[in-house]
């Protein structure tokens, strides 16, 4: 079968799937709901869209699993198709299939997750301010010339790219910023499920292969990760910065030099302490009881509006003359004699039509994030120290039930964190909107469904580790997404077990009556347990995730281990730079946005200075 035909087949969903979604929704929909068809339709189209966005590496096995499930139903039910069975029979088959073998369980975990995400999605109604229509001129290319030129091309309008572009245009440098994702004006007014499909990389369904796989998330839109993140703003610990400066021979990277850039970045996104809410107070109370250190962290927020790149630096940069093209993807860098001579790009116009064109720039900054920056470079034939040292913060969540309500806000994230065990381990809280709590419940319907009626009394808290292990990013010709792998070391597992131990202690001290770790088939603990019990949990049953990615193209003067120099310029290339999370040489143990911005400010300053002196 030709690849295109195969892809089309992958996107085509059987009618049976509609029935399956109807069944999964009936598990959670109150019987009083009189007109459920629109809910079924909404979920069906959402699941279908998400499947089509999923990287091919997972889409193919998922497609095979779905077909296998329906085939299994066909055989077991005596040659009747799934959609012709009664709901009771369908339910029986789903339950049996889930018990039958592990991949069967994984399939339903995924579908339930998507269905719940869609069903419980709410618009964040408390955020009243919409971005004004005219605060932006997101330049979709209406008529695209076959070639564009500029002094500096910035590929990726995320945290690193936008901060850099803002500084360059402020210094009067002709700058073009492109992003493969869309520019979405009303991002905070939309229900979460819509943003998953439009704004999250591959619909939020990305994972690094390993035992177990680690689900990771990135933004893919103008504003990048800053549009979907929680806006927690943190500086990296001074000792760690000084240690990294030595280890990788990085110039002007010590804590004293970086302090001024951190302060400037903080002011740019209006980072400030917010009034503590119940979800934070719960954690703080536990820290006091256990006599552990903790702190409130600053959040990029003003008048209840998250201060993403699209709220802050991007409008300012556009006012100064920055050119921005949304839905424009850099496909390949063309290299000659150690220089980028042009960039091949493809843009989608407002009618959905695609245009390929070339961009000529004196200098090119790749700012496509810690996964897609190395991917673009590998695809363009640049390999030295690229994509071999990816780091992330493996994180384990627990779903906890409390005596008193903990989560009340539509999109609240606790800004308090327990720092006693940092930098190795941090205890904190996740987004506690109904959507995200429902997704935690969907992870294991059998053991958690009773919590569905007590969502206000549930909270999701996590333990996050700073690992020593590294992952890899590989370019596979013909695939539009990279293959990412990550294997945790024994030391990392020891930290994860310890992290889970501290986390469950914290939760019981905070008044939890049940603590369910994100571990397959775990019924939860009703009282404090011991580290020895935790260590008996099988590693491959952990559902790990990460939202912080780093170090896939580390910076430093040590050419043996670094991809770029101290200011982001690729070793051995004259006009090619990287400026995003990939140049941070190791996982920091802290939230990365502040450091990415501080480095972007420092590197922009260095670029502007050296450029004018040349
Ligand atoms: C759910 C979530 C919550 C988070 N919470 C926090 C938090 O509270 N605090 C914090 O500090 N950090 C947080 N982070 C992490 C933070 O958002 C990221 O570290 C940060 O956004 C990374 O910045 P970046 O510039 O490296 O890449 P990104 O911000 O990811 O930007 C990369 C951009 O490049 C674009 N791109 C990729 N390839 C191409 C191409 N070929 N052509 C054109 N464009 C391309 C992408 O569309 C994207 O917009 C969170 C992340 C997530 C996902």
Q: Is the Cβ atom of 342 under 6 angstroms away from ligand 1?
A: no
Q: What is the pLDDT of residue 131?
A: 45
Average pLDDT of span 290-317: 95
CA of 213 to the centre of ligand 1 (A): 20
Q: Is the Cβ atom of 380 under 6 angstroms away from ligand 1?
A: no
- Neighbouring CB atoms inside 10 A of 46's CB total 23
* pLDDT exceeds cutoff 80 at 612: no
DSSP secondary structure letter of residue 321: T
pLDDT in tens, 2-26: 445 544 544 444 688 899 999 998 8
- Neighbouring CB atoms inside 10 A of 78's CB total 6
Q: Which atom of ligand 1 lies nearest, measured to the CA of 581? A: 26
Residue tagged active-site, from 166, 548, 571, 606: 548
Q: Which atom of ligand 1 lies nearest, measured to the CA of 580? A: 26
Q: Is the Cβ atom of 524 under 6 angstroms away from ligand 1?
A: no
- What angle do the packed helices 278-290 and 490-509 form, to 10 degrees? 100
The closest residue, in CA terms, to atom 5 on ligand 1 is 229
* pLDDT exceeds cutoff 80 at 145: no
Active site residue 288: no
Mean pLDDT of the chain: 90
At 127, the pLDDT band (50, 70, 90 cuts) reads: very low
Query: What domains sit in the chain, N to C, each tagged with a CATH number?
Result: 3-119 (no CATH), 138-205+220-268+309-383+555-613 (3.50.50.60), 272-303+394-546 (3.30.560.10)
CA of 584 to the centre of ligand 1 (A): 14
Of 141, 155, 156, the residue with max ligand 1 atoms within 8 A of its CB, to mutate for a pocket test, comes to 156
The closest residue, in CA terms, to atom 21 on ligand 1 is 225
Q: What is the pLDDT of residue 68?
A: 92
pLDDT in tens, 162-202: 999 999 999 999 999 999 999 987 787 788 888 999 999 99
Distance between CA 217 and CA 232 in Å, rounded? Answer: 16
Q: What is the pLDDT of residue 411?
A: 60
Name the nearest CA neighbour of 470 among 392, 547, 559: 392
Give the rounded percent of residues in the chain with a pLDDT score beyond 70: 92
Measured in residues, the chain has a length of 614
Q: Is the Cβ atom of 372 under 6 angstroms away from ligand 1?
A: yes
Neighbouring residues of 73: CB distance < 8 A, sequence distance ≥ 6: 16, 80, 81, 82, 85, 90, 93, 97
Surface-to-core class of residue 36, CB atoms within 10 Å of its CB (0-12 exposed, 13-18 middle, 19+ buried): middle
As beta bridge partners, residue 366 has 155, 578
At 135, the pLDDT band (50, 70, 90 cuts) reads: very low
Of 157, 364, 369, the residue with max ligand 1 atoms within 8 A of its CB, to mutate for a pocket test, comes to 369
pTM for the predicted model, two decimal places: 0.93
Q: Which atom of ligand 1 lies nearest, measured to the CA of 373? A: 38
Distance between CA 199 and CA 219 in Å, rounded? Answer: 6
Q: Is the Cβ atom of 306 under 6 angstroms away from ligand 1?
A: no
Distance between CA 22 and CA 434 in Å, rounded? Answer: 21
Distance of CA 128 to the CA centre of its chain: 25
CA of 550 to the centre of ligand 1 (A): 11
Contacts of 2-9 with CB under 8 Å at 24 or more apart are: 3/478, 7/56, 9/63
- Neighbouring CB atoms inside 10 A of 588's CB total 25
Task: Please check whether residue 22 is in contact with residue 40, taking contact to mean a CB–CB distance below 8 angstroms.
Answer: yes
Percent helix, strand and coil across the chain, each rounded to 5? 40, 20, 35
Query: What is the dihedral angle through the alpha carbons of 119, 123, 126, 132, rounded to the nearest 10 degrees?
Result: 180
Q: Is the Cβ atom of 163 under 6 angstroms away from ligand 1?
A: no
* pLDDT exceeds cutoff 70 at 410: no
Q: What is the pLDDT of residue 35?
A: 60
Distance between CA 246 and CA 254 in Å, rounded? Answer: 9
Of 117, 229, 431, the residue with max ligand 1 atoms within 8 A of its CB, to mutate for a pocket test, comes to 229
Name the nearest CA neighbour of 383 among 473, 470, 468, 471: 473
pLDDT in tens, 331-341: 999 999 999 99
At 32, the pLDDT band (50, 70, 90 cuts) reads: low
pLDDT in tens, 483-514: 999 999 999 999 999 999 999 999 999 999 99
* pLDDT exceeds cutoff 90 at 481: yes
* pLDDT exceeds cutoff 70 at 45: yes
Q: Which atom of ligand 1 lies nearest, measured to the CA of 331? A: 41
């Amino acid at each position: 079968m030709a690849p295109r035909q195969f892809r089309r087949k992958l996107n085509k969903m059987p009618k049976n799937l509609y029935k399956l979604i109807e069944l999964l929704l009936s598990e959670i929909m109150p019987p009083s709901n009189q007109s459920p068809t629109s809910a079924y339709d909404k979920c069906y189209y959402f699941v279908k869209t998400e499947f089509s966005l999923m990287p091919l590496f997972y889409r193919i096995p998922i497609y095979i699993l779905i077909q296998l499930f329906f085939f299994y139903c066909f055989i077991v039910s005596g040659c009747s198709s799934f959609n012709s069975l009664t709901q009771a029979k369908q339910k029986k088959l789903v339950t049996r299939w889930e018990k039958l073998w592990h991949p069967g369980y994984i399939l339903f975990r995924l579908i339930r997750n998507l269905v719940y995400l869609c069903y419980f999605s709410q618009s964040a109604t408390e955020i009243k301010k919409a971005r004004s229509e005219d605060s932006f001129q997101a330049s979709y290319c209406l008529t695209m010339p076959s070639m564009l030129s500029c002094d500096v091309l910035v590929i990726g309008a995320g945290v690193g790219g936008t901060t850099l572009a803002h500084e360059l245009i402020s210094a009067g440098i002709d700058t073009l910023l492109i992003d493969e994702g869309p520019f979405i004006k009303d991002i905070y007014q939309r229900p979460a499920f819509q943003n998953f499909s439009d704004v999250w990389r591959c619909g939020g369904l990305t994972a690094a292969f390993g035992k177990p796989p680690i689900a990771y998330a990135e933004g893919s839109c103008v504003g990048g990760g800053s549009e979907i993140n929680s806006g927690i703003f943190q500086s990296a610990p001074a000792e760690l910065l000084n240690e990294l400066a030595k280890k990788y021979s990085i110039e002007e990277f010590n804590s004293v030099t970086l302090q001024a850039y951190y302060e400037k970045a903080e002011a740019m996104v209006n980072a400030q302490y917010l009034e503590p809410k119940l979800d934070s107070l719960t954690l703080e109370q536990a820290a006091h009881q256990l006599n552990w250190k903790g702190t409130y962290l600053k959040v990029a927020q003003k008048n209840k509006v998250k201060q993403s790149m699209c709220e802050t630096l991007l409008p300012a940069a556009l006012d100064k003359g920055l050119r921005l093209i949304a839905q424009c993807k850099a496909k390949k860098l063309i290299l000659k004699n150690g220089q980028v001579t042009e960039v091949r790009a493809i843009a989608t116009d407002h009618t959905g039509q695609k245009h390929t064109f070339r961009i000529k720039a004196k200098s090119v900054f790749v700012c496509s994030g810690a996964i897609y920056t190395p991917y673009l470079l590998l695809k363009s034939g640049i390999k030295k120290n690229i994509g071999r040292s990816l780091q992330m913060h493996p994180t384990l969540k627990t779903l906890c039930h409390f005596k008193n309500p903990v989560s009340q806000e539509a999109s609240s994230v606790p800004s308090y964190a327990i720092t006693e065990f940092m930098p190795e381990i941090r205890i904190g809280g996740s987004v506690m909107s109904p959507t995200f709590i429902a997704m935690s419940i969907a992870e294991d319907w059998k053991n958690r469904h009773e919590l569905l009626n007590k969502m206000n009394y549930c909270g999701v808290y996590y333990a996050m580790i700073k690992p020593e292990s590294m992952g890899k990013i590989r370019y596979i010709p013909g695939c539009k997404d990279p293959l990412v792998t990550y294997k945790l070391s024994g030391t990392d597992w020891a930290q994860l077990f310890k992290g889970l131990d501290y986390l469950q202690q914290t939760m019981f001290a905070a008044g939890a009556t049940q603590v369910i770790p994100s571990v397959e088939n775990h019924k939860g603990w009703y009282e404090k347990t011991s580290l020895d019990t935790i260590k008996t949990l099988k590693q491959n049953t952990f559902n790990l995730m990460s939202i912080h990615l780093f170090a896939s193209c580390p910076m430093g003067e040590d050419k043996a281990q670094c991809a770029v120099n101290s200011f982001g310029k690729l070793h051995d290339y004259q006009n090619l730079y990287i400026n995003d999370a990939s140049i941070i040489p190791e996982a920091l143990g802290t939230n990365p946005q502040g450091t990415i911005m501080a480095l972007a400010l420092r590197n922009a300053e260095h670029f502007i200075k050296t450029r004018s002196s040349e």
